[in-house]
Amino acid sequence: MAAPQVQKTLNRDVPQDKVRNIGIIAHIDAGKTTTTERILYYTGRSYKIGDIDEGTTVMDWMDQERERGITIVSAATTTFWNGYRFNIIDTPGHVDFTAEVERSLRVLDGGITVLDAEEGVQSQSETVWHQADKYNVPRLCFINKMDKIGADFRATIASIEERLGARTAVMVVPIGREHEFRGIVDLLTRKAYVWGSDDLGATFDEIAIPADLTHEVEISRHALVERISETDDALIEKFLSGTEPTVEELKAALRRAVIAYKLVPIYAGSSLRNKGVQPLLDAVVDYLPSPLDLLPVEGIHPKTGEKETRKRVSSEAFAGLAFKIQIDPHVGKLTYVRIYSGTLASGSYIHNSSKGAKERVGRLLLMHANQREEIKEAYAGEIVAVVGFKDTITGDTVCSSDKPIILEKISFPDPVISLAIEPKTKNDQEKMGFALQRLAEEDPTFKIKSNLETNQTIIWGMGELHLEILVDRMKREFKVEANVGAPQVAYKETIKIEAEGEGKYIRQSGGRGQYGHCFLRIEPKGRGEGNEFIDEIKGGAIPKEFIAPIEKGVKEAMENGVLAGYPLVDIRVTLYDGTYHDVDSSEIAFKIAGSMAIQHAVKLAQPTLLEPIMKVEITTPDEFMGDVIGDLGAKRAEIAGSTKRGAVTVILALVPLAELAGYATTLRSMSKGRATYYMEPSHYQEVPRNIQEKIIAKRV
């Protein structure tokens, strides 16, 4: 078979049932980008295969991605396979860039989860799997790196069922293992395929099933047929009566089961060695949904709050979700939009129902990583980039003005780490404000706060790598030089008991005075439930126009806490009484009174500090296991369990982020460079009293 021809322009006249919107999701280093590069090559989208180690990948186009060999931003592209159109998003595996995965999964119809055949299911595999569960994304699993030493196909399937709770449909049996891996047997068709060499894998041969595998193939096929039949009443009757369903019937039933999240087909291969990718592409066509296979998209009417639906067809009213903002040096701000229904035309005006604003579609672009192709019109089921939107941000719904709808927003986790940053020169000062604002537009997990006392800017992110990349981008893309402080843990404050507080602000300075007076009741809420403000004023004790200023004063005071200046969280605040003065009362007086009342109440409600706890997964050779566990014990860690995997042990622990500064170096020196670790935010919990006192003493 000859190498595929590269496509310069895209044939976009593909019926909707032949469109697949898919994402590649996985743990860091499982081989997502390598797999995507192979898909682009075999579908003819690229004329040569990009290599991460050489920095020639198409999807990892940023300088920082190529230098570090990791994916930082999700990249979108469109390609074709056997008459089907694939819109693909390659997502990052590193937990610091979890926002990129979250927003991609929100707009995808199907996913390919890539797993390392030696490592099996890892922490981030679990995280992205549960993110996909949240948005009901049907998916396939591709067990990659089958040629790696220690690769274990069956153990990986067992970990998928055990750790991910997935009901698997094993579609292939590998031929050979570790360095002898050379192909697969397709169980449904009983056909064996081998890839002769690592010659870009464009050529493969169909062979007779190897004799030593015939028994395993028949047992595995019987199990597969039974599992598929169980999902379909007509097939199970046929199966139980001793008649085997046809391959076509099985494929149709499996497709329905995958779309209904009942089964997850499992494939295997080695992307780096160019083996096993083509059957995966056929599986995307056969089993993952087109936009037409999914239920109509649901939302609410912005004015009435009533439920609204849109069929996923081009003849419906236009509705789409802005899921990503990207600053492009050549065309300015790009807003990525997933179109759920209707059509979007270049030069038209649409309605942003989340903001109640009108937006103009300046230009429409089809993206291929960082390359652009201009188009005039886009239809239901497509993912496009729009130039010209001014007010639209990530998570906003855009729709036709005559049939408004608001779709489900995208939720993002809170940042866990911060650092102080200040411009090096006066010239850098203005540029820095602009750069930070632009980067915050792109990244919903990146927060900026000014510290008026120290004149520093504090930036918040999901991890040290996240902040390091953002500071690096500021230098490269916006030419801003800055001094950067050491990373700080993002503590929070909360309360333990219910309490009441009074705020009374009276100023008399000749002429008109200031008078504001209110009573608040506060009570703790469940961890992660957020803050809530309730107005229970009866009989006009405080006039209506002063309620909002009190709420504003309360919110501003909660931003800076009372113990050590950290934000107050998970508190219900009830405004239940107060007094006012006919002449002297003003909005500013009540805002100050609200601020005073909340501070008074919090001091009486046993305030306490919360710290971020990280889920840490350490893979260590057995000989260093005792040292690693001993060190974790000294770090206030809670060991959640350990799993033996070959000659290594994987330790799962929950560790306070404050104890993990410089952990990479500690672990390397403890294990002679042989142990590795991975961490991701888990939850917030109370800081022990003795450590709280030290933190408060430092801040005061």
H or E stretch including 153?
helix 153-163
Residue 488 is assigned to a structural domain of this protein: no
Asked if 172 and 185 count as a contact pair (C-beta separation under 8 A), the reply is yes
Asked whether the predicted pLDDT for residue 642 surpasses 70, the reply is yes
Instruction: Tell whether 536 and 427 lie within a shared domain.
Output: no
On whether 622 is known to bind a ligand per the annotation, the reply is: no
Residue partners of 57: CB distance under 8 A and separation at least 6:
33, 37, 50, 51, 65, 66
Dump the DSSP string for 187-207.
TTTTEEEE--SSSTT---EEE
Residue 200 and residue 64 in one domain: yes
pLDDT at 374: 84
Cβ neighbours, 10 Å, residue 395: 19
> Which CATH number goes with the domain that contains 364?
2.40.30.10
Phi first, then psi: give them for residue 175, nearest 5 degrees. -105, 115
164/16 Cα distance (integer angstroms): 31
> SS3 for 256-318, per residue?
HHHHCCCCEEEEECECCCCECHHHHHHHHHHHCCCHHHCCCEEEECCCCCCEEEECCCCCCCC
CB distance 160 to 264 below 8 Å: yes
Render pLDDT for 22-59 as a digit per residue (tens, 0 to 9). 888 887 777 767 787 787 777 765 544 445 444 444 44
Residue whose C-alpha is closest to residue 25's, from 118, 122, 119: 122
Q: Quick one: tokens of 475? A: 């230098």
Its pTM stands at 0.74
Does the annotation list 91 as a binding residue?
yes
Q: What is the CATH number of the domain that holds 655?
A: 3.30.70.240
Q: Looking at the domain assignment, is residue 247 inside a domain?
A: yes
Of 605, 640, 671, the domain-final residue? 605
SS3 for 395-430 is CCEEECCCCCCEECCCCCCCCCEEEEEEECCHHHHH
Question: Is residue 345 classed exposed, middle or buried when 0-12, 13-18 and 19+ CB atoms within 10 A define those classes?
Answer: middle
Task: Output the pLDDT for position 442.
Answer: 79
Judge whether 534 is annotated as a binding position.
Answer: no
> Of residues 639 and 123, which shows the higher confidence score?
639
111 and 142 in a single domain? The answer is yes
Q: Is residue 10 part of a domain?
A: no
pLDDT of residue 692: 92
Within-domain flag for 3: no
Mean pLDDT, the chain, whole residue set: 84
Under 8 Å between Cβ of 33 and 90: yes
pLDDT, position 104:
76
pLDDT band at 100 (very low <50, low <70, confident <90, very high): low
Mean pLDDT confidence for 205-217: 89
Strand (E) or helix (H) holding 686: strand 676-686
Asked whether residue 180 falls in the same domain as residue 40, the answer is: yes
Q: What is the pLDDT of residues 470-495, one digit of tens each?
A: 888 888 778 888 888 878 888 999 99
Rounded distance, CA 679 to CA 94, Å?
9
- Picking from 58, 10, 68, the residue whose alpha carbon sits closest to that of residue 34 is 58
Shared domain for 191 and 249, answered yes or no, is yes
Residue 698 labelled as part of a binding site: no
Domain span at residue 382? 297-407
- Is 380 annotated to bind a ligand? Reply is no
Among the candidates 265, 293, 321, a domain finishes at 293
Tokens of 405: 């709808």
- Neighbouring-strand partners of residue 648: 621, 645
Residues 381 and 432 in one domain: no
pLDDT at 68: 42
390 marked as binding residue: no
Residue 180 belongs to a domain:
yes
Is the Cβ–Cβ distance between 106 and 40 less than 8 Å? Answer: no
Q: Is 243 annotated as a binding residue?
A: no
Question: How many structural domains does the chain have?
Answer: 5
Q: Is 94 annotated as a binding residue?
A: yes
| Residue 108 is assigned to a structural domain of this protein | yes
CATH of the domain at 245: 3.40.50.300
- Note whether residue 374 is domain-resident: yes
225 secondary structure, DSSP code: H
DSSP at 17:
G
Give the per-residue pLDDT at 6.
36
Cα separation of 42 and 34, whole Å?
A: 12
Q: Which of 346, 377, 407 is the last residue of a domain?
A: 407
Q: Is the pLDDT of residue 659 over 70?
A: yes
pLDDT tens figures, 660-679: 888 888 888 898 888 888 78
Which of the four pLDDT bands, split at 50, 70 and 90, describes residue 528?
confident
Look at phi and psi of residue 293 and say left if phi exceeds 0, alpha if psi is from -120 to 50, else beta: alpha
The pLDDT score that the predictor gives to residue 202 is 63
Q: 558 a known binding residue?
A: no
Q: What is the CATH number of the domain that holds 423?
A: 3.30.70.870
320 lies in the same domain as 460: no
Q: Any known ligand binding at 535?
A: no
Domain match, 512 and 638 both: no
**Are 585 and 620 in a shared domain?**
no
- Residue 26 annotated as part of some ligand binding site: yes
Q: Which of 197-211, 286-300, 303-317 has the lowest mean pLDDT?
A: 197-211
Q: Are residues 160 and 276 in the same domain?
A: yes
Residue 330 banded pLDDT, cuts 50, 70, 90: confident
7 has a pLDDT exceeding 80: no
CATH number at residue 526: 3.30.230.10
In this prediction, residue 2 carries a pLDDT of 35
545: DSSP letter: G
- Asked whether residue 37 is domain-assigned, the answer is yes
Whether 455 has a binding-site annotation, put simply, is no
- Are 46 and 192 contained in the same domain? yes
Shared domain for 233 and 275, answered yes or no, is yes
Is 28 annotated to bind a ligand? Reply is yes
Q: Establish whether 146 is an annotated binding residue.
A: yes
Give, as one character, the DSSP assignment of residue 479: -
27 marked as part of a ligand binding site? yes
Contact 24, 104 (CB under 8 A): no
